[in-house]
Structure 1
């Protein structure tokens, strides 16, 4: 957790003082005559849809499993209820309140496709720079990247949470698949002109910190050390 916090702070300073990587990376996908390479492409839009569908599915499973775990009233059921409760809180606090409810409104960053450098009318602003050039559905940070990171980290934590049980293997496999989908989603968001590199980086870092922070609170064996370790099967 501390390492992630230091990394996030360091990158925040770097992107604020030297924002040129955002423009450079986005420019790789932009043609002045044709626009952004992946904008409106069916295959890449399908990647985005798959990312959203996977998160909706995980949340739906959580809504079912929390009451089921509470109904069982056993050690295993209690542990499962806490895990799925963590998943629901992660999506509610992260993509819901923090990203869409706070950051997008506070920073008001125009999307790449909206700035002058890529044929739009708004000026470019650096990450963590407050501006009023966007009033709704703004660029900083990426909600899709936040949801995808929540998916991947939740599944990775699940593999540790249920280590030693049959479900752990399924969580590991799904975590690897979701990581691949997350990387494709990142490419799609930049390539379609909807987000800058920093929008994705900070969405991923903030969600990862939030996920492991919630695990620290809800996973008994990690409550003191706030460190997620394998083979912790306490109810």
Structure 2
């Protein structure tokens, strides 16, 4: 099934819709998955070296991912060179993939308005707040849906689309990094499974659409 809609494979759209419905109809999936990381008193991975490393790696990696291309772009402009092909169009794309998916869609629209409580705060895991399913808006201030860390980590997918060679290798590494960060957030009780999965699909779909709109060509992955 290689058909695409807005430069996104049809199976990605179908997977997003199907999994979203699954989490809405069977919200206990989130509780079940989170329970694997809860020992009855705490989320035992919270504060561990691997969790802290992945959690705190996102910000510096994103800063580097923006300022390194920006520096090359400025150098190219000044010297009239074309190192790595970073021109105004590429910089526009980089700014948008960092701003729209993790910034606007996840943080401004979802996190600031959904109010879903985090696993560490709900009664099922020793907290005092009520658990609510994914996609169900609440008036609480949990800001769990969806995951900002996961969205930021998965935004490297957008950079992988720029790779001139071995694009599938870079895409695999970007997705694996996003999965690692997502797992660390779920294991630490910072997010439910549906939070990180939703962020993945938002970023994947947004970056592929932006790639198509800006470069006027379909991606090969």
> What is the TM-score normalised by the length of structure 2?
0.85
1:156 aligns with 2:156: no
Deviation at 1:83, TM superposition (A): 2.3
Report the equivalent of 1:19.
27
Whether the aligned pair in 2 keeps the contact of 1:66 and 1:82 (CA below 8 Å) is no
Consecutive unaligned residues of structure 2, counting only runs of 5 or more, are: 1-7
Whether the aligned pair in 1 keeps the contact of 2:134 and 2:194 (CA below 8 Å) is yes
Structure 1 residue corresponding to 2:150, chosen from 138, 145, 170: 145
1:123 aligns with 2:130: yes
Residue aligned with 1:31, SS: coil
Deviation at 1:57, TM superposition (A): 0.8
Count of equivalent residues: 213
Whether the aligned pair in 2 keeps the contact of 1:70 and 1:77 (CA below 8 Å) is no
After TM superposition, the structure 1 stretch with the greater mean CA deviation from structure 2, 5-14 or 85-94, is 5-14
Whether the aligned pair in 1 keeps the contact of 2:69 and 2:86 (CA below 8 Å) is no
1:212 aligns with 2:216: no
Structure 2 vs 1, CA of residues 210 and 71 (structure 1 numbering), >3 Å: closer, same or farther? Answer: farther
Report the equivalent of 2:61.
54
1:95 aligns with 2:102: yes
Paired residues for 1:184-195 under 5 Å: 184-195=180-191
1:82 aligns with 2:92: no
> What is the TM-score normalised by the length of structure 1?
0.81
Whether the aligned pair in 1 keeps the contact of 2:24 and 2:134 (CA below 8 Å) is yes
Report the equivalent of 1:228.
219
Output the CA distance in 2 between the equivalents of 1:207 and 1:199: 13
Output the CA distance in 2 between the equivalents of 1:229 and 1:79: 20
After TM superposition, the structure 1 stretch with the greater mean CA deviation from structure 2, 10-19 or 113-122, is 10-19
After TM superposition, the structure 1 stretch with the greater mean CA deviation from structure 2, 105-114 or 50-59, is 50-59
Consecutive unaligned residues of structure 1, counting only runs of 5 or more, are: 163-167, 231-235
Paired residues for 1:26-41 under 5 Å: 26-33=34-41, 35-41=42-48
CA RMSD of aligned residues (A): 2.4
Output the CA distance in 1 between the equivalents of 2:134 and 2:116: 8
